[in-house]
Amino acid sequence: MRRLLFLLGLLGAVLFSSLKAETLEYSADKVVVYPGEKRITLQGNCRLTYAGAVMEADTVFYFMDEKRLLAMGNIDFSRGGQHFSGKTLEYDLELKRAYLDNGRAPVEKGYVGGEVINTVGESLVYGKNTSFTTCEHINPHFQIRSSRMKIIKNDKVLVSPVVFYVYRVPVFWFPALFFPIPEGRKTGFLIPTFSNNSVDGLTFQIPFFLVINKYSDLTYTLKIMAQRGLSHEGEFRLKTYTGEGEIDGAYTHDKIARLKRWYLKGSAVQDFPGSGVKLTLKADLLSDTSYYDDFSSNIDERTENSLSSYVTLEKNFGSRIYTRLLFSQENRWQDLGDGTTEEYVRTLLPGMTVNMYNIGLLPDMYLSLTGNSANLFEDNSFVKQASSGTVTLSYRHTLFSYLHMGERMVNRLDHIRYEERSIERWVPTFSTDLYFNLYGYFNLLGIGSTDTVKHTVKPSLSFDWTPERDQDRFAAMGESLISAKKQLNYRLDNTFLTKVRNNRKHLFLSLSTQVSQDLEARGKSFSPVVTSAVFSPYWAEIVSTRLTFQHEYDSYGKETRYFSVYGTGAVNWEESRFNLSVFYRKGFQGEEDVLTSRIEGDIRLTKKWTFRTSILYDFNLSKIREQSFEFLRDLHCWNMGISWQERETGVIDYKFYIRLNAYGDFKWDYKGQLENET
């Protein structure tokens, strides 16, 4: 017995020194030491730990001279982010290299299996006659098989040659392949998309994502259209802790139009910490005015018929003074219906704004100054240089603790210079207002989720006076005039507030009525009565509805001048949502009525099927102006999307994509990541 304890102690000392101060700890149902052979055998429920590696197996042989472990039967081996299982595993303690025969190892959100799996450290995995899949099933839905494979942790998978299998059926062969493992932004190909429509024909696009550095990246997309030809598209993104920017563009040699067509769109915002300076840029340029009609899937871009580009430089001096320098250009066009287009270009170069807010003169008395100046060009020809300044003196106070009053005097000065002459004017305005709040509570008898209601009534009265000023020169030059007025404005607001679940406040109804009276008019001195209402009852947490009315009534002619209603309802439950909105506007004075409805939905049909749709219907035209449908299918280790979209021009787009569930898009939201880091 003493001899055995001596041998075990000697063996432990030799083992400890031979492993360079790294200790091999082990346990098993049975431990047998062979001193002559310098070998230890562990049998039954074997568990070994060494330098962060943990191994469990039925039987383990340790060869002391070779510093090598041989494990057999029900092997479970883990080290760092690696985790292997199999029947036979050999591990070199010095080189920290593992050899797995006929095993299966989860690696980088996937699984590697094969005849021999060789790991070097915690970052490299080599394989011989191996397979790779992201499906956890023993008989996976798909796999990539190869005679040689190399996996670099948090980087890429390299295989050569490649045979892609669906179940056990080979689908295609490729001489070599590598793909990134997207733990963060990775350079590589993004998800390809197939689409088809009656104009472009069958279309295939494949994007390639390039990581430039932590703050920027570039996406290049090759778009192949059977009928139009090739299109080269690019997107550059930049995000730093003080600013961000994005540039999109495309170039197409259009075989249908027989033109070289392009677009360039960009925006950037840059703050200069400590200086209060902010620079903003926006650019939107097209080769021709019909570009968006032919290529854009965005209905706003196709129907607005306008572009705007600008540069602004803003500077704040504390919280009281704001300055802005503006350079802008606006392009508008109109299709004349005969194949020609009328274009209009309006440029401000430059525009200057200076605001001084609420400079305290006396208690509750403030002075504000505003100045604007701009050089206006139309179709690249100088039109005028217009400057205006406004000086506002205001005073707010309270009477009898509940009557709120305010007096204000505004002086506006305008100066406009043309090529041959200049005109000026000064127009003052005096105004005062008065309002107070009345509160009351009542009970709705427990209707729905509503109990006690807080009703607030806010009547207000204001008076505006602008004296008559000589503006004949402005009228002669076609400039807008500031009308003289002596006017009373009456307004009544009603709000209804209640509490719903979790004692949360909910505003379910607000009403507003206003009318003005011209004190110098003879006869019909009152303006039309404008009434608006917003009704938003509370039904449940998953249901929301909102109804908005606007009405303008001429009390003299006893007729409605304007009427519109907009209603929307949404239901959100679990992983589904549904939204219905309706807009109606009554047309007057020769205008046509407008009645449109939009349906949007994202509905989980089954555990694996999801349906999305968006439909815009015009009741006046009795047609659908825009509609899209998309089906998404969870294919266990893949997901698939099929969409169908009809534009207002009648062009129909069909799209199809398929992607792996295990990996997200390489092009992740690094903007949010930087914000989280700050």
Coil, helix or strand for 18? helix
Percentage with pLDDT > 90 across the chain: 40
Task: For residue 10, list its beta bridge partners.
Answer: none
Residue that wins the pLDDT comparison between 228 and 154? 228
Q: Note whether 127 and 149 are within 8 A (CB).
A: yes
Residue 328 sits at φ, ψ, to 5 deg, of -140, 155
- CATH 2.60.450.10 range(s) for the chain read 2-180
**Apex 327 CA angle, 391 and 266, nearest 5:** 130
Q: What is the mean pLDDT of residues 506-528?
A: 93
> So what's the pLDDT on residue 8?
41
Strands 576-586 and 306-317, by their bridges, are: unpaired
Residue 481 sits at φ, ψ, to 5 deg, of -105, 155
Q: Is the CATH number 3.40.1580.10 carried by domain 2-180? A: no
Q: Give residue 494's identity as a one-letter amino acid code.
A: N
Joined together, the tokens standing for residue 136 give: 């956890």
> So what's the pLDDT on residue 26?
85
> So what's the pLDDT on residue 15?
39
Q: Is the pLDDT of residue 18 over 50?
A: no
Coil, helix or strand for 10? helix
Coil, helix or strand for 146? strand
* Contacts of 275 by beta carbon, 8 Å cutoff, 6+ apart: 315
Residue that wins the pLDDT comparison between 390 and 148? 390
**Apex 237 CA angle, 204 and 218, nearest 5:** 45
Q: Is the pLDDT of residue 501 over 60?
A: yes
Q: What is the mean pLDDT of residues 251-255?
A: 93
* Cα 102 from Cα 115, distance rounded (Å): 4
* Contacts of 590 by beta carbon, 8 Å cutoff, 6+ apart: none
Q: Is the pLDDT of residue 59 over 80?
A: yes
Q: What is the distance of C-alpha 98 from the center of its chain?
A: 45
Quickly tell me which residue has 């101060």 as its tokens: 21
> So what's the pLDDT on residue 12?
44
Strands (E), 379-421: 381-399, 403-417
Q: Which of 641, 665, 645, 667 is nearest to 654 (CA)?
A: 645
> CB under 8 Å, gap of 24 or more: what pairs does 369-373 form?
none
Q: Note whether 619 and 596 are within 8 A (CB).
A: yes
Q: What is the mean pLDDT of residues 641-653?
A: 77
Lowest mean pLDDT: which of 8-22, 402-416, 498-512, 513-527? 8-22
Q: What is the mean pLDDT of residues 232-244?
A: 92
Q: Is the pLDDT of residue 146 over 50?
A: yes
Q: Is the pLDDT of residue 675 over 60?
A: no
Q: Note whether 435 and 448 are within 8 A (CB).
A: no
**Apex 610 CA angle, 605 and 615, nearest 5:** 100
Note the pLDDT tens digit of each residue in 155-182.
Answer: 677 777 878 777 777 776 777 766 666 5
Q: Is the pLDDT of residue 451 over 80?
A: no
Q: Is the dihedral of CA 481, 482, 487, 488 positive or negative?
A: positive
Q: Which of 191, 184, 212, 188 is nearest to 108 (CA)?
A: 184
Q: Note whether 198 and 174 are within 8 A (CB).
A: no
What average pLDDT does the chain have?
83
Coil, helix or strand for 473? helix
Q: Is the pLDDT of residue 607 over 60?
A: yes
Strands (E), 421-542: 422-435, 438-443, 452-466, 485-499, 505-518, 529-535, 538-540
Give the H/E segment covering residue 300: helix 299-304
Q: Which of 90, 93, 100 is nearest to 126 (CA)?
A: 100
**Please, which pLDDT band fits residue 183 given cuts at 50, 70 and 90?**
low
* Cα 220 from Cα 441, distance rounded (Å): 62
Joined together, the tokens standing for residue 546 give: 């909102």
Coil, helix or strand for 678? coil
* Cα 589 from Cα 561, distance rounded (Å): 9
- Evaluate if pTM is beyond 0.75: no
DSSP 8-state symbol, 526:
B
Q: Is the pLDDT of residue 148 over 90?
A: no
Q: Note whether 444 and 450 are within 8 A (CB).
A: yes
Instruction: Give the Å distances, CA to CA, from 580 to 23, 546, 605.
Output: 67, 11, 18
Other beta carbons within 10 Å of 168: 8
Q: What is the mean pLDDT of residues 56-82?
A: 83
Cis before 467? omega within 30: no
Q: Note whether 321 and 368 are within 8 A (CB).
A: no
Q: Note whether 163 and 145 are within 8 A (CB).
A: yes
Task: For residue 333, list its beta bridge partners.
Answer: 343
Q: Is the pLDDT of residue 39 over 90?
A: no
